[in-house]
Structure 1
Amino acid sequence: MRSFYDRGRGRTLVPREKREVYGPGEVITYYLSPKELEKYRKLPVMKQKRPVNLPQRRKKA
């Protein structure tokens, strides 16, 4: 059986404590040195995978 938790505007399956713990964290910006940057630029380019197409749900009549 599912347990629902009140979140003010509605209900959710995830308790508030878990949502707060797994929420967005601090963003850290860093820069690579020219030497490190050159190292990554020399790596082989990965071939892109084909995009995944999800069929749209049909509306019930």
Structure 2
Amino acid sequence: MAHWDLTVPWGSRATEVERLIGLGATHQWDVLEEFSHVQWTTLADPEGNLFCVAEHPPADGQRS
């Protein structure tokens, strides 16, 4: 069993999550405040395999 982590540009995670849900993924949970260096959403594909969509803040630390 593999667990995939997809990294997207800062600020685009919600858009990518919605796109993947539209393709058949199911939202499982979000981790937004536990770690300062990454935020992610865990999804399940139609067969139940979990994967994450993650975003890291820009190198300059600026979050919009």
Q: TM-score, normalised by structure 2?
A: 0.19
TM (norm. structure 1) is: 0.19
- Larger strand percent: 2
Higher relative contact order (CA 8 A, sep 6+): 2
